[in-house]
Amino acid sequence: MNIRVSDPPSKTVGRIDVSHVSISLGEGEKAFEAVRDLDFTVPPGELVCILGPSGCGKSTLLGALAGHLQATSGHLALDAQTILGPSPDRGIVFQQHTLFPWKRVRDNVAFGPKMRGIGRAERRRAADEILRLVGLEGFEGFYPSQLSGGMQQRG
C-alpha cells in the first residue's frame, strides 16, 4: 500500500451540493431534528463560513459532509458523488485537537497509516510531507504540548 500526498486540488474539484437535507439525532421519543431542509451549493474554490448559535446544527452538518453522520432526508454530494460514509478525501478539523500527548508530532500524523500497516519509512516520508504542507516543517520532533493551539489543530 502506498501513501501519496496529492497535489493541491484544482479549481474544478470541490463542489459541495446540499439538497433539502434534514438530519435527526437520537432515537424514538428523544430524537430531535438538528438540521432541517438545508439547501445550498458551494462552488469549487469558494471559502465558506458557517455561523450560528450553539446547538443550531453546524457540527452536525460538518459531520454529515465528512460522512460520519447520515442525512435523514435530502442529498449530500461532493463533486456529484453522493456522500455515503467517511472517505480519505474528506475530513474534519475538530475544535479541540485530537493528538496523542505522549507521541511526537510526526508520530501523531503517521498514526493512521501505521494502523493500516504502512511501513515505517513510508509513514515518515508521508508524515513529513504533510507537515510541510501545513506549515509544521521543523516541528516533527515536538510534543503537542509544545505547540500553539492552531499548530495542534494542523498536527
Confidence (pLDDT) at 1: 41
Question: Residues 50, 55, 60, CA angle at the centre, nearest 5°?
Answer: 60
What residues have CB less than 8 Å from 103, skipping those under 6 apart? 111, 143, 144
Measured over all CA atoms, what is the biggest interatomic distance in the chain, rounded to whole angstroms? 52
Q: Are 136 and 97 in contact (CB under 8 A)?
A: no
Digit-coded pLDDT (tens) for 42-83: 999 898 888 888 888 998 999 999 999 999 999 999 999 999
Global pTM?
Answer: 0.63
Q: What is the average per-residue pLDDT within 122-151? A: 90
| 35, HSE (Cβ side, Cα atoms, 13 Å) | 26
Domain boundaries, the chain: 16-82, 105-154
Digit-coded pLDDT (tens) for 81-132: 999 998 878 877 666 667 888 999 999 999 988 888 999 999 999 999 999 9
At residue 35, does pLDDT exceed 90? yes
